[in-house]
Amino acid sequence: MALFPRCATVRGSQSETTMTIPEEAIRDALRTVNDPDLGKDLVTLGMIKGITIDDRRISVGVELTTPACPMKDKIRGDVERAVRRKAMEFGVADASVEVQFTADVRRANEKTREGGNPLPNVKHVIAVGAGKGGVGKSTISVNLAVGLARFGARVGLLDGDIYGPSLPTMLGLDAFGATAKGNVLLPFELHGVKSMTLGKLVDPDKALIWRGPMAHGAFKQLATQTEWGALDYLIIDLPPGTGDVPLTLAQLLPLTGAVIVCTPQRVAQDDARRAVRMFQQLGVDILGVVENMSYFLGDDGKEYDLFGRGGAEMMAQSMGLPFLGSVPIHMALRQHCDAGTPLANWDIPTLASDLDAICQRTAAQISIASMTAGRYVQPTISVT
Ligand code: ADP
């Protein structure tokens, strides 16, 4: 039940004539406000979760499709303007408009899959891939997961790089042992993120040599026998290149899309292109490209262009893919990776804003992908 009357009342100074703004009029005004990423109005998108009208004070509840929405400020401004304009039509010149945001990540529209969905409580599975090793794929995966969690999302991070798991170091898992409940693994819960890695289940110094079916089995078990609980996003750090694990992943789980990490050099772009083509062949959407090691930020504050800054962005453009942002080579980023303290990246304002921008653009692309009905195609690979 509404706490306040659902009309704004305008009292004449002389007479007691009143003019009211009906809730429906405010709703009509909100039909003129689009979510800029989703390209439809807030009412049609079902994002209006309440309108309260208390005399000249009008409050609008807007439910975003992700807590990391990059368009929050724009939506707030547009809602305020549209509601004030409507209030003016009813003679209320000094309406105060408050926008209250909540967020609920929407599940991707999924076609019925053969074999069902083994992770029904996970709303989005996001693969992070790269054409080659060493470009910062694990670094971006960790910071994407931690960054989305900082915005308030429920996030899991799976180390799918079963050949060379990096998460034990990058998340600082050394002091923790893996625990199981029956035949399910309990994820580590650190830095606001639930995580699982093979690196905590096998001898870390042993070379992990897997034949195709073994890699398939190991990855499948890690992904589906971990008790993730309810998640908005499950980020999967894939091995570099175009091997068995992406194929297993695409067959096993309904992927919302893949993020490609690339450094600016031409050779890295060529490999990243191959990774993009692989995902496309597997029927997986590309959410976008992140340019890592864009330039080097010296102690003198100068930016040194080592690798050809903007190369990965140009590659994204030429392939018609969204660009999700860039991160420079930053000594602190490497130090925090080695120390297993990713949250410390947010103590450095420039780094924090670069990472937040990547998280927000990725979240926006996930929301956009979710709006496309029945987009998932189960991969059928034919070898000729
Ligand atoms: P990949 O997963 O692609 O093999 P990693 O994420 O493991 O690459 O990164 C390789 C190394 O480079 C790590 O030591 C990591 O800390 C470092 N690194 C990655 N990105 C950056 C960056 N932008 N600035 C500084 N060091 C970085």
What distance in Å separates the CA atoms of residue 365 and residue 21, rounded to the nearest whole number? 36
Distance CA 268, CA 327 (A): 16
Asked if residue 27 lies in contact with residue 59, where contact means CB atoms within 8 angstroms, the answer is: no
DSSP assignment of 202-219 equals S-TTS-----HHHHHHHH
Query: Domains in the chain, start-ordered, CATH in brackets?
Result: 8-105 (3.30.300.130), 110-372 (3.40.50.300)
Determine the distance separating the centroid of ligand 1 and the alpha carbon of 134, expressed in angstroms.
6
pLDDT score, position 325? 98
- Ligand 1 mean position, distance from CA 334 (Å): 6
Residues in CB range of 211: below 8 A, 6 or more apart: none
What per-residue confidence (pLDDT) applies to 242?
73
- The predicted-structure confidence for 246-283, as pLDDT tens digits, reads as follows 888 888 899 999 999 999 999 989 999 999 999 999 99
Query: What is the whole-number distance in angstroms between the Cα of residue 135 and the centre of ligand 1?
Result: 6
Tokens for 187, please give them: 């994820």
Query: How many angstroms separate the alpha carbon of residue 177 from the centre of ligand 1?
Result: 25
The CA–CA distances, whole Å, from 347 to 209, 297, 315, 332 equal: 38, 16, 31, 10
Return d(Cα 369, Cα 353) in angstroms, integer.
Answer: 24
**pLDDT given for residue 3 in this prediction:** 38
Ligand 1 pocket, Cβ-based, cut-off 6 angstroms: 130, 133-139, 166, 240, 292-293, 327, 329-330, 333-334, 337
Q: What is the CA radius of gyration of the chain?
A: 24
Note the pLDDT tens digit of each residue in 16-36.
444 688 999 999 999 999 999
Which class for 152: exposed (0-12), middle (13-18), buried (19 or more C-beta within 10 A)? middle
Alpha-carbon distance 44 to 346, whole Å? 36
pLDDT for residue 99? 98
d(C-alpha 292, C-alpha 312), whole Å: 8
For residue 16, what pLDDT is reported?
A: 41
- The residues, any chain, with a CB within 8 Å of residue 249's CB and separated by 6 or more, are 125, 127, 160, 219, 223, 236, 238, 255
Pocket test for ligand 1, best of 132, 135, 138, 139 (most atoms within 8 A of CB): 139
**Ligand 1: which residue has its CA nearest to atom 16?**
334
- CB 215 within 8 Å of CB 109: no
- At 334 the pLDDT is 96
Q: Which atom of ligand 1 is nearest to the CA of 164?
A: 4
> Which tokens belong to 65?
């499709």
Residues paired with residue 19 on neighbouring β-strands, in sequence order: 10
Q: Separation of 327 CA from ligand 1 center, angstroms?
A: 11
What does 110-157 look like in DSSP terms, one character per residue?
-PPPTT--S-TTEEEEEEEEESSTTSSHHHHHHHHHHHHHHTT--EEE
Which residues make Cβ contacts (< 8 Å) with residue 173, sequence separation at least 6?
167, 188, 190, 195, 197, 199, 200, 340
Residue 12, φ and ψ in degrees, nearest 5 = -70, 150
Q: Which two tokens stand for residue 276?
A: 């993009």
- Residue keyed to tokens 């439910």: 63
Residue 158 CB-half CA count within 13 A: 30
Q: What SS3 state is found at 168? A: helix
DSSP category for residue 226: B
Using alpha carbons, select from 144, 223, 238 the residue that is nearest to residue 184. Answer: 223
- Asked whether the beta carbons of 123 and 253 are under 8 A apart, the reply is no
Model pLDDT, residue 85: 96
pLDDT at 110: 60
Cα 65 to Cα 367: distance, rounded to the nearest angstrom? 6
What pLDDT is recorded for position 344? 98
Cα 126 to Cα 141, 145, 231: the distances in Å are 10, 10, 12
Q: Burial level of 105, CB count in 10 A (0-12/13-18/19+)?
A: buried
Q: Is the pTM of this model over 0.75?
A: yes
Query: What are the residue ranges in the chain where pLDDT is below 50?
Result: 1-8, 10-18, 373-384
CA–CA gap between residue 264 and residue 295 (Å, rounded): 9
